[in-house]
DNA sequence: CTGTTAGCGCGTTCAC
DNA sequence: GTGAACGCGCTAACAG
């Protein structure tokens, strides 16, 4: 591999001159510059980015850590981040949180391989993040609330989302409202549940413990929860599922029980994943604008790196997406 | 930021000793090592990975370049690559091909920021890839065939896939077979089309030019193509769509025209994307095992880096996934 | 066996 | 246009 030294030698100039020439610095006269560029070409010189980053002590790259590099769920978010960073000439690289202490995530976080990180990976331990806090290394978390005043939070307003969904069902005349939740330790789920409870309370509707179920955020979990709901005898007239995956599973269970949706039972989800519009009936749900989240996160990180920022806690609104799985209660 | 120097000073040892201690080298006696580790802890020392990579001239990280970091399409593939690399203690980072010459993709390719790359991004120019060829830098392409004997190809057998799909329709008794294709310059599409033509030929079925349509690989394109097919008057009895997205669109068009699928018309897609099983009717399609592709790519890159490899061209089989959108031709 | 000295990897940038 | 220090950690060779 040719280094800048080889280029300099071939062009008959000092290494520093070669460096200036290769970076189009106007200090070198165009004649010399041309010679250098030619030498670089003949040697097929490729700069060593690592050496460069080391010297300049910055990488102009932001890392995003996601659960498993595979979630269709992150699509829009990444696009948002990518688009925004690109306008600032920053790069974006993604890695997964899988792999524990040898994971690339750890490298990103601790070894200064990127100038800042965006985190959206439940499985990444809080401690790892907190240990990585240091000056001039912006960390944005999208999936939890951490107790450190240098960490920036961009969170979705899950509470309002849960409230909105529930209120929508109430507005349609439903009073028997079940809740199929995600893992109980999951923060998003907790907040969505709080929203649900608050909405019931505000309308003076009593919360019915046997209608509170757990579906682990999975399709299978939603299916089981739906089955249980049916077997209990006193079926509710509407169900709020804390995510769309579970709603898909629950719908299956309800259909198998012979219910017509939304005629016999209304159901609303959360997330607005892609398949929600293709299932039958198309699912009403609560949507968070992932593109905006990504874009905001990227924007904040750039600001933090270059101009400094003021606020450190951002709460983004949710939006109701009404399709055909919810309807006015039949009398 | 504390550097190893600070740690050494605080522990009262030479930098080299600190380095050995931090890397658990048995040369330093445990007493000293403990002192060093403690010093590191009190200073919150984090090693600079960049400096390390520079010195060792390797990163133990593989890059994967995808179209836009967002495709649900890559999910399985990434998982495959990730899992495999992890067992070799290599990291995986992903970046998008968007951004032209300032893109992170370019950095990966030219600036030795990773030890090897996997490419799956149509928009990345051939030249950029070819220019990045150098010794000891394995490049695996999954989306095209390049004329360089140091580039490794892992390709899906699109020809056979196209053949399989078409043959399946023929086996069901269909003889009026339409083809809705992707962009004509797209290599995958071309091969699928070749497979289609070959299958027709082998069964002595004449190819009907007005049944060859173009849908740009998009849902809307498939929809339009479906409409056109209906308007032509002489509708085929079965359709092979070069990807599932188009099949989804086409089905919509056929339904709007009052056709019952598969009773009046059979349709088969390609890719087996997630929604294929949720649409109505569930779509028969041709599947490529993306997990395996990713895993194989990762395996090859590891081999190339550590043991050297023999073969440079791999062709992976496709598999027919039969659901309910295809049926025996009605007499 | 333990610890130290010193040079390296490679490009950037300041002082001359 | 150039020489040389520098960023930071690794590691071979050497000394005690």
DSSP codes joined into one string, B163-193: HHHHHHHHHTT---EEEEE--TT-HHHHHHH
Q: What is the value of pTM for the model shown?
A: 0.88
**Chain A nearest CA to B201, separation (Å):** 37
Structural domain total, chain B: 3
Confidence of residue B86 (pLDDT cuts 50, 70, 90): very high
Note whether A139 and A222 are same-domain residues: no
Q: How confident is the model at residue B71, as a pLDDT?
A: 61
In the 50-89 segment of chain A, residues within 7 Å (Cβ) of strand D are 51, 54-55, 57
Note whether A236 and A163 are same-domain residues: yes
Q: How confident is the model at residue A71, as a pLDDT?
A: 61
Cβ A254 vs Cβ A267: under 8 Å: yes
Produce one character per residue of A248-283: b if its CB has 16 or more CB atoms within 10 Å, e if not. bbbbbbbeeeebebbeebbbbbbbbbbbbeebebeb
* Alpha carbons B243 and B285: distance in angstroms, whole number: 8
Is any atom of nucleic acid chain C found less than 7 Å from the CB of residue B51?
yes
Reduced to 3 states (helix: H, G, I; strand: E, B; else coil), residue A44 is coil
Note whether B66 and B147 are same-domain residues: yes
Look up the CATH number of the domain holding residue A241. 3.40.50.2300
Cβ B190 vs Cβ B184: under 8 Å: yes
Residues of A (105-144) whose Cβ lies below 8 Å from B: 107, 110-113, 131-132, 134-135
Residue A50 inside a domain? The answer is no
Residue A55 inside a domain? The answer is no
Q: Which residue has the higher pLDDT, B99 or B182?
A: B182
Is any atom of nucleic acid chain C found less than 7 Å from the CB of residue A22?
yes
Residue B282 inside a domain? The answer is yes
Reduced to 3 states (helix: H, G, I; strand: E, B; else coil), residue B111 is coil
User: For B219-234, what is each residue's pLDDT tens digit?
Assistant: 999 999 999 999 998 8
Residue A51 inside a domain? The answer is no
A46 contacts on B by Cβ (under 8 Å) = 110-112, 132, 134
CA A177 to chain centre: 29
Note whether A266 and A174 are same-domain residues: yes
* Alpha carbons A281 and B59: distance in angstroms, whole number: 50
**Chain A nearest CA to B200, separation (Å):** 33
Note whether A98 and A135 are same-domain residues: yes
Note whether A142 and A196 are same-domain residues: no
Residue B52 inside a domain? The answer is no
Note whether A164 and A266 are same-domain residues: yes
A68 contacts on B by Cβ (under 8 Å) = 78-79, 82
Measure, in angstroms, how far nucleotide C7 C1' is from residue B209 CA: 72
Note whether A9 and A37 are same-domain residues: yes
Note whether A249 and A142 are same-domain residues: no
Q: Do A75 and B70 touch (CB under 8 A)?
A: yes
On the question of a cis peptide bond just before residue A281, with omega within 30 degrees of 0, the verdict is: yes
* Alpha carbons A138 and A146: distance in angstroms, whole number: 14
Residue B326 inside a domain? The answer is no
Residue A326 has pLDDT above 90, yes or no: yes
Percentage above 90 pLDDT, chain B: 84
Residue B257 inside a domain? The answer is yes
Residue B309 has pLDDT above 70, yes or no: yes
Cβ A153 vs Cβ A314: under 8 Å: yes
Confidence of residue B101 (pLDDT cuts 50, 70, 90): confident
Note whether A38 and A12 are same-domain residues: yes
Give the pair of three-digit tokens for residue A202: 């505000």
Q: Measured between alpha carbons, how far apart are the two ends of chain B, in Å?
A: 79
Note whether A31 and A114 are same-domain residues: no
Note whether A234 and A184 are same-domain residues: yes
Q: How confident is the model at residue B278, as a pLDDT?
A: 84
Measure, in angstroms, how far nucleotide D1 C1' is from residue A52 CA: 22
Q: How confident is the model at residue B147, as a pLDDT?
A: 93
Q: Which domain holds residue B76?
A: 61-157+291-317
Is any atom of nucleic acid chain C found less than 7 Å from the CB of residue A184?
no
Residue B16 inside a domain? The answer is yes
- Residue in chain A closest to B100 (alpha carbons) equals A86
Measure, in angstroms, how far nucleotide C9 C1' is from residue B112 CA: 13
Q: Do B72 and A68 touch (CB under 8 A)?
A: no
Given CB atoms, is B50 within the 8 Å cutoff of chain A?
A: yes
């Amino acid at each position: 591999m040719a280094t800048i030294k080889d280029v300099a030698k071939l062009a008959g100039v000092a290494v520093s001159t070669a460096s200036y020439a290769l970076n189009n610095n106007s200090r070198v006269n165009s004649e010399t510059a041309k010679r250098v560029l030619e030498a670089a070409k003949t040697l097929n010189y490729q700069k060593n980015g690592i050496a460069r980053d080391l010297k300049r002590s910055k990488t102009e790259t932001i890392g995003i850590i996601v659960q498993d590099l595979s979630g269709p769920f992150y699509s829009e978010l990444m696009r948002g981040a990518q688009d925004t960073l690109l306008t600032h000439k920053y790069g974006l690289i993604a890695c997964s949180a899988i792999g524990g202490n040898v994971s690339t995530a750890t490298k990103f976080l601790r070894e200064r391989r990127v100038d800042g990180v965006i985190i959206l990976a439940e499985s990444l331990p809080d401690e790892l993040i907190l240990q990585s806090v240091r000056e001039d290394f912006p960390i944005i978390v999208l999936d939890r609330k951490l107790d450190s005043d240098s960490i920036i939070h961009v969170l979705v307003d899950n509470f309002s989302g849960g409230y909105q969904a529930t209120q929508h069902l109430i507005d349609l005349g439903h009073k028997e409202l079940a809740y199929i939740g995600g893992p109980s330790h999951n923060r998003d789920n907790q907040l969505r549940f709080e929203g649900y409870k608050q909405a019931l309370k505000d309308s003076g509707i009593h919360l019915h413990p046997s209608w509170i179920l757990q579906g682990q955020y999975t399709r299978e979990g939603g299916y089981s929860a739906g089955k249980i709901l049916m077997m209990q005898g006193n079926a509710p007239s509407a169900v709020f599922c804390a995510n769309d995956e579970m709603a898909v599973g629950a719908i299956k269970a309800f259909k198998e029980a012979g219910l017509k949706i939304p005629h016999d039972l209304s159901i609303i989800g959360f997330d607005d994943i892609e398949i929600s519009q293709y299932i039958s009936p198309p699912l009403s749900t609560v949507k968070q604008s992932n593109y905006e989240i990504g874009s905001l996160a990227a924007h904040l990180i750039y600001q933090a790196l270059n101009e400094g920022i003021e606020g450190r806690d951002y709460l983004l609104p949710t939006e109701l997406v009404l399709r055909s799985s919810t309807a006015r209660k039949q009398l």
